Amino acid sequence: MSNVDQAQEQIPDDVLNVVAAGLEYRDPRGWIPWAWAVLSRAGDVPVRIDEDLEEYPAHLVTLAGLGHLFELFHEISSGGSPDLEPGVDLVGKYRPEITTIEIARYCEREGVVDRAFPETADGLLREAIGARAPELRRRLLELLGGGRLFTSLYIAGEHEPDAESVEEGVPGRLPSTDDAFDGHLHSVVNEDLTSKKQRTYAWLEGDLDLG
């Protein structure tokens, strides 16, 4: 089992589910935990998300930020705009959610404010996730490069794996080895770079302002 596979298994199902439940686009191939594993290998986040740790609210916002980056990519690749707001609801009384006080403290520490008045926990959460997503995009670009990051997002949203495709050798999860990944990269980026792909690639690398 690779380091990426091991890291993917360290996000509790209830935590991942509360993030995935609010996304506009489903993540059947597990890009969100895959990206978390990339960050954990770089030392940016812990391998395991622990609901009992003081840092848990920040980790949950980061996980939700990855989810929002995932849905932004697929919104833009389908011809949409980057105006899609985070729809994840993480505020509640019990884990895996975080409390109003926890999101308020996180936002105060990170300098995030609710642009609407009066300020609400949901508003702060949307701003926090919306601010985290581009930070994560830039960091993943540093770690993976544009080609690999684009490819990972693209093949993650291609289609949901089923029993037949798995039996035929199509992995249910994203490739965890460089050689397997590079095979996808060549076909996705080099062989079939459509105008929609070019537009999305430019946005992903920060070379196209769609705002």
pLDDT digits (tens, 9 = 90+) for 1-43: 344 444 455 799 999 999 999 998 999 889 999 999 999 999 9
Q: What is the DSSP string of 144-195?
A: H-HHHHHHHHHHHTS----HHHHHTT--SS---SHHHHHHHHIIIIII---H
**Domain-located, residue 157:** yes
| Angstrom distance (rounded) from CA 83 to CA 39 | 26
| Angstrom distance (rounded) from CA 191 to CA 112 | 42
Number of structural domains (the chain) is 1
The per-residue pLDDT for 191 is 66
**Domain-located, residue 17:** yes
- Domain that residue 128 falls in: 3-204
**Domain-located, residue 210:** no
Q: Write the CB contacts of 156 (distance below 8 Å, at least 6 apart in sequence).
A: 27, 28, 29, 30, 31, 34, 70, 174
pTM here is 0.87
pLDDT digits (tens, 9 = 90+) for 90-124: 999 999 999 999 999 999 999 999 988 889 999 99
**Domain-located, residue 55:** yes
**Domain-located, residue 209:** no
**Domain-located, residue 211:** no
